[in-house]
Amino acid sequence: MKKHLLFLGPPGAGKGTQASVISEENCYLHLSTGELLRQEVEMKTSLGLQVKEVINSGKLVDDELVLAIVKKNLTSNKNGWILDGYPRNVSQANSLNLVLRELNQPLEVVFYLNLDEEILIERLLNRGRKDDNEKTIRTRLKIYDEITKPLINYYQNQNILEYIDGDRDLKIISDNIRQKIGL
């Protein structure tokens, strides 16, 4: 059974939802950098104050800051872990490789969840998060296209990419994922 997983895909594709379902039922650690960053903003920590504007604009937070968060949280969870929203660019993916080598826990599957852009926008507008207004959504989708999308090829070249059609019922998607990790 595969237990070191990554969810890749545009904002609104359902990465967080699926990562929650799969991590809860297997007691995997669910590491969402977006969620951790939002908590810092909420708690008004110095890191939170530092990243608040960037998050609300839809741009990416500095690589070093995010890497520090990942290192702090990605401990050697025995059961496994799911990365959600990290890495977001090739430099982060290279850093992640190094961290995982140190932990001796190689990434086993990268699930690429995808959806049409129109559906994504509609979903994000309905989600109602603070960084889900129209302007921010456009910025986030553009950054995804330009900066994060190359990771699809990056992981395809490592032969660990699995495509998941995100335009289906939640339960069907979860079943699809379970099957691919050998549950």
Question: What is d(CA 96, CA 137) in angstroms, rounded to the nearest whole number?
Answer: 26
- In the region spanning residues 70 to 99, those forming contacts with ligand AMP, defined by CB under 6 A, are 85-88, 92
Q: Exactly one of 9, 10, 58, 80 binds ligand AMP (CB under 6 A); which one?
A: 58
Stretch that binds ligand AMP, among 17-25, 59-67, 111-119, 157-165 (CB under 6 A): 59-67
Give me the phi and psi of 123, to 5 degrees please.
Answer: -65, -45
Residue 71 neighbours by CB under 8 Å, 6+ apart = 99
The 125-164 contact track toward ligand AMP, x by CB under 6 A, reads ------x--------x------------------------
| Three-state SS at 141 | helix
The sign of the dihedral angle between the CA atoms of 113, 143, 83, 122 is negative
Please tell me whether residue 34 binds ligand AMP under the rule CB under 6 A.
yes
CB-nearer residue toward ligand AMP: 127 or 168: 127
**Residue 17 per-residue DSSP state:** H
Binding site for ligand AMP (CB under 6 A): 11, 33-34, 37, 54-55, 58-61, 66, 85-88, 92, 131, 140
